[in-house]
Every structure is written in structure tokens, then in C-alpha cells.
Amino acid sequence: MRLIFLGLALWIGAALGAVAQDGALQSLDTGQDGRGWEAVGRIDIDGKGFCTGALIRENIVLTAAHCVYDPAGRVIAAERFHFLAGFRRGRAEAYREVRRVLPHPDYIHDDRRGSDPRLIAQDLALLELAQPVRVSRIIPFPVAPQPRGGETVGVVSYAENRSEAPSLQNICTVLGQQQGVMVFSCDVDPGASGSPVFRIQDGVAQVVSVVSAMAMLDDRKVALGVQLDAPLQDLLLLLQESPGGAGQRILVPGQRNDTGARFISP
């Protein structure tokens, strides 16, 4: 995960001083702890690294685009990815190979420009699984329109120092947004790239953003994420229209998914 330094206050306006008390990271070590979050998983990349991703359909995983590139700027072959839904302490609720990797067509993977926040606006990718996940307790998440500044959200992530079980931060804050990028007070670390940011509505967890990078703002660590609306719609249309498309209707932000995961407080 990239570390970005934000020097312009306009990224968050005056929101930083008004943030409510964020919740602490809670490790989802047991099946009871992780109930309702089984559709979040670790994306293993050829045994050499990992990111976080979330099912938004039975065969579609949402993650960050920079997770699917090698250091030379080439898209990594699909067979080198594995999605481990609900991975915890060496076991996954479901283990799937990846059939196809689809980064956003406007995303530019360039480590020399990695500190440019504008790259984050298209830092989004879809993984099409070789086989759908049809396990009763693993329910894909619905996608919702972007949250407003000051709204409370949460994040579920794996990370470098907590790779064996996901962690939940159920309270953090939307600090602001600009040029397709959202700024959150959420606590993220290397490895958390691609983590879903959630809004809870009527007891249902809805994905509203994907974590792209850590940032430092006035000596405080914050998270940067993608505004999903336009780039996700682009990807979903491309997936359906391209050869070997997903073969099923995929919901875009704001549409209802009647199988949406229920949020159950640990």
C-alpha cells in the first residue's frame, strides 16, 4: 500500500477537527466474531503478497487496481491469484481460483507517480472467479452510493501485521472528498489495499468505497479510497460486454441486492 502525504487542507475542509471518536480495530478471530463478514477475503498473489477484497456477486470480487500489477507495471496473470473468503487462522470459508482480472481501463500504474492522489480515483479492479461462491453463510455485499462528509463508516481488512484474520473497525469518519477520492479517518496498514469501506443501513453492510492508500495529513494517518459510482459502473459494463463476460446481471451503486449481507455486531 502506498503512503501519500497530503499538503492541502482543501482535501478535507474543516472536517478533521470535528471527527467523532473512532472505534478500535477488532480482530475477527472466531466464526462468531466474523459472522456477517465472510464475504470479505484475502487475495493471495502467487504466494508473494496479498490484498483484501470483497464479494459483490457470487463470482465477482472488488479490490484495488494496484493490487493486480507487478512491479514492472504489467497485469498479473489470473491464475496467480486466489481468493480466500473469510480466511482466518489458516482456513477459509471458501477458496477460489481467479478466471479473469479486470483493472479499470483508465488506471495508470506508475510507481514514480505513486504519491499523486489523482491516481486513486480509478484505483479499482474486479476479479472474476473461476467458480461462484455458493455457500449459505457467504453473502455478497450490495454496493451503495458514496457517503457524505462527516458520515460514519467502517472497514474490514487484512494487513501486514494481521494477515491471519481480518480486523473490523466499525466506526470511522468520512473526512471529505475531491476529484474522485475519499478521505477517511479509518486505521489501515500495508496489506489493507482493496479493503471494503462500509455503510450500515437498516442492519445491512453496504460497500461505499475501496481502500487505495494510507496518507499522512497534519501528522495524522488517514485512509484514501475510491468514489465507487462512476469507475465501478465502467468496470461492470466492461465486464458484461467483453468476451467471456460474467453472464449475470451485476448491480451498480444504488441498486438493491436482496441477498445483501446482514451486519451482526460481535
- Domain contains 254: no
- Domain contains 253: no
Measured distance CA(113)–CA(130) in Å, rounded: 33
pLDDT at 50: 94
At which residue does the C-alpha cell 482543501 appear? 10
| Full residue range of the structural domain in which residue 174 is found | 2-241
- Domain contains 139: yes
Cα 177 to chain centroid distance, Å, stands at 17
- Domain contains 85: yes
Number of folded domains that form the chain: 1
- Domain contains 127: yes
Contacts of 51 (CB under 8 A, 6+ apart): 42, 43, 45, 63, 64, 67, 158, 191, 193, 194
In CATH, what number is assigned to the domain containing residue 106?
2.40.10.10
pTM metric for this prediction: 0.86
- Domain contains 258: no
pLDDT at 227: 92
Residues of the chain with pLDDT under 70: 1-20, 111-118, 243-266
